[in-house]
A and B are shown apart, each in its own frame.
Chain A
Amino acid sequence: MPLQAIRQVAKPQNGVGAFILQCKSLHFTYCDWAGSSKGMNSFLTHYLPRFAQQNPQIEITVSPKPRKHPVIKGNYINGREKAVCVANMDPKEIVKKAVLLRDASGEKLKKVTKPVKSLNESVRGIWDPFHGHQWKI
């Protein structure tokens, strides 16, 4: 056999072809009695139907959680979970938090210092002494 092949797995590039929203599901909890859920209850009745309609790719679940602050929990494709407590917030603030969770990638927050991240290897290759500036002694 003149040559053999090395088996690999092609890497995903989300957004190059299809884009898949990384937020899988959002879970809203509320309390009927406590005052911290006042904004959440208003959000659930007036804003959530529209939000769910605009984002059909997110599975939305609502459940009561008595005597607790209202929380939005997002589950992401990478398996992580992100939770935001929305106690004492206005419905419009809660919409902002829901949008934040929808747009998150699920990764831990980290500082991006390099401007470009690429799967391709560098065009310039590894350093070699024959190209670029020649040092003369």
Chain B
Amino acid sequence: MKRVRVERWGGSLLPPRNPRLQCPFSAGERACNVPIRSRTLRPITAPSQQQRQFTSTRRIRQDVEIAAVADELEAPPATRYPSPRADRQSAKLAALHARLSLPARFPLQTLSRCLIDASANPESSQNNSSLALLGQDLLGYHTAEWLICNYPRLPMPVLFAAEYAYIGPATLSNMRAEWGVEAAAAPGEEVDPGYLQFTRQQAGNAMAEDGMHRIKEFEHIRAKGTGRANEQYNWRRGVSSRIVYDDQFGDLQSGLADPVVGPGGSMLTSTPKDGSSAAQLEPAELAPLDDASASGELKSTTLEQASASFIRAVFGALYLHCGAAALRDFHASHILSRHLPLHTLFNFKYPTRDLSRLCKREGFEPPVARLESETGRHSRTPVFVVGVYSGKDKLGEDAGSSLDEGRVRAAAAALRGWYLYSPPKDRVVLPSQASEGRWRPQMVDPGEIIT
């Protein structure tokens, strides 16, 4: 593979690769005159006694140069991390901008910033973490409002699953590939800004440094910093607590600050030192990235997480540069246009019991299963078509290979029909469209049946 010429982009900033050259590409003084530390030569290759006899002035000069290069390598250059600079031109980046039909007000520099993950550059003004945070909230808001207004009776677990299907990390990771964005093998200043840059996580099966354990054996399996009190206990997580504490998909969050229980609470993991309050300690705990950058280490991440943060950052940046209307169109054309059959998300455990509870709650007559038709009762492939009726109304119908299976499937079909009710399209007005002067109160159901 042909080597990329670094001089083209950062020639004035970088020292020449060959220290004997007199910097043909740079202004000269700064890069070439590397301060040589007097005559303290580092024994890079300890010369033997015989070799020392032939030590000439030329040899000494070479050693000095080698020591200077070694010093240079030890001291990290000022620009170690990839950064979204305005002067970095890239055909890939421009092609991506055009491929997504982004408005002209969306600058290429921001797009290149969206492609720099926090694991590639810990400087929060140069990576996409802030944009991704905004984009995640915007994606969640627009998807949830569309789902709730179009399917007002969707049960909470299914709503979580539907959001996961539309804007979950797996979907966003697929979208990165569908947008034609490739990931760089490793982040760096010299990488084309059109690549997604992040530090790759080592595989969990890789051997740790001690040669005895795998890496995954050192990791804590349970997520830390979930924002829940008493997270060390394996308490049951109900749907209501998932709505309050967890993320958009009902999953545990991680990396949040521990909830402060009280001044004398035993839940505090770090005790305040000499009079400093817990509130003063919090910023240091909240900023693990800054700690990592101070020690020169970068957090690593997976391709899926980095891809998801890139897509979220594009949405966040689109909102900031082009406004809410552009974001809504982009969301509708890239997220809501995806294919998701909602009726396949349901997994009923006791559909007949749920249906009778539902009929009771809604004041319908209790459901009755009736055999509609059958064939081959005594054969090895019997088929029974069962309908579920409430009074004279038929709630659902399905076929099964036994009478019981037909009854259960018919009840599940009736429940799916209830939960997947959708109002007429012309009556659905999303709350985010209120800024256009359109507003209509939307029906939202009290919720699923609790048994």
Which residues on A are within 8 Å of B, measured CB to CB? Answer: 1-14, 16-18, 20-21, 24-25, 56-61, 77, 119-121, 128-130
Q: How far is the CA of A56 from the CA of B339 in the complex (A)?
A: 28
Contact (Cβ within 8 A) B399 A21: no
**How far does the Cβ of A30 sit from chain B's closest Cβ, in whole Å?**
17
Residues of B within 8 A of A12 (CB): 174-175, 178, 338-339
For window 326-347 of B, CB contacts with A under 8 Å fall at 330, 332-334, 336-341, 344-347
Contact (Cβ within 8 A) B340 A4: no
Assuming the A-B contacts A9-B174, A17-B333, A18-B334, are A3 and B448 also in contact, with contact meaning beta carbons closer than 8 angstroms in the complex?
Answer: yes
Residues of B within 8 A of A17 (CB): 332-334, 336-338
Q: How far is the CA of A128 from the CA of B375 in the complex (A)?
A: 10
Q: How far is the CA of A20 from the CA of B437 in the complex (A)?
A: 32
The 7 closest A-B pairs by CB, nearest first: A17-B337, A17-B333, A5-B161, A56-B98, A10-B338, A57-B99, A10-B340
Residues of A within 8 A of B344 (CB): 6, 8
Q: How far is the CA of A119 from the CA of B341 in the complex (A)?
A: 9
Chain B residue at minimal CB-CB distance from A52 = B91
Contact (Cβ within 8 A) B383 A128: yes
**How far does the Cβ of A101 sit from chain B's closest Cβ, in whole Å?**
15
Chain A residue at minimal CB-CB distance from B351 = A3
In the assembled complex, B168 has its CB within 8 A of some CB on chain A: yes
Residues of B within 8 A of A16 (CB): 337, 339
Q: How far is the CA of A57 from the CA of B375 in the complex (A)?
A: 58
Contact (Cβ within 8 A) B178 A77: yes
Contact (Cβ within 8 A) A4 B350: no
Contact (Cβ within 8 A) B95 A3: no
Size of the chain B interface, CB-CB below 8 angstroms: 57
Residues of B within 8 A of A77 (CB): 177-180
Residues of A within 8 A of B345 (CB): 5-8
Q: How far is the CA of A93 from the CA of B162 in the complex (A)?
A: 49
Q: How far is the CA of A129 from the CA of B382 in the complex (A)?
A: 11
Q: How far is the CA of A73 from the CA of B312 in the complex (A)?
A: 32
Q: How far is the CA of A4 from the CA of B354 in the complex (A)?
A: 13
Interface membership of chain B positions 285-325, coded 1 if the CB is closer than 8 angstroms to chain A and 0 otherwise? 00000000000000000000000000000000000000000
Q: How far is the CA of A9 from the CA of B332 in the complex (A)?
A: 17
**How far does the Cβ of B327 sit from chain A's closest Cβ, in whole Å?**
13
Residues of B within 8 A of A8 (CB): 161, 165, 340, 344-345
Known: A9-B165, A10-B338; 5 extra A-B contacts, CB below 8 A, are A1-B157, A6-B347, A7-B165, A13-B337, A129-B383
Residues of A within 8 A of B171 (CB): 9-10
Chain B residue at minimal CB-CB distance from A118 = B339
15 contacts between A and B (CB under 8 A): A1-B239, A2-B350, A2-B448, A5-B157, A5-B161, A7-B161, A8-B340, A9-B168, A10-B165, A17-B337, A18-B100, A57-B99, A59-B92, A59-B94, A130-B383
Q: How far is the CA of A104 from the CA of B281 in the complex (A)?
A: 58
In the assembled complex, B198 has its CB within 8 A of some CB on chain A: no
Contact (Cβ within 8 A) A18 B451: no
Chain A residue at minimal CB-CB distance from B415 = A3
Residues of A within 8 A of B350 (CB): 2
**How far does the Cβ of B198 sit from chain A's closest Cβ, in whole Å?**
20
**How far does the Cβ of B236 sit from chain A's closest Cβ, in whole Å?**
10
Contact (Cβ within 8 A) B337 A3: no
Contact (Cβ within 8 A) A60 B338: no
Interface membership of chain B positions 9-33, coded 1 if the CB is closer than 8 angstroms to chain A and 0 otherwise? 0000000000000000000000000
For window 128-180 of B, CB contacts with A under 8 Å fall at 155, 157-158, 160-162, 164-166, 168, 170-171, 174-175, 177-180
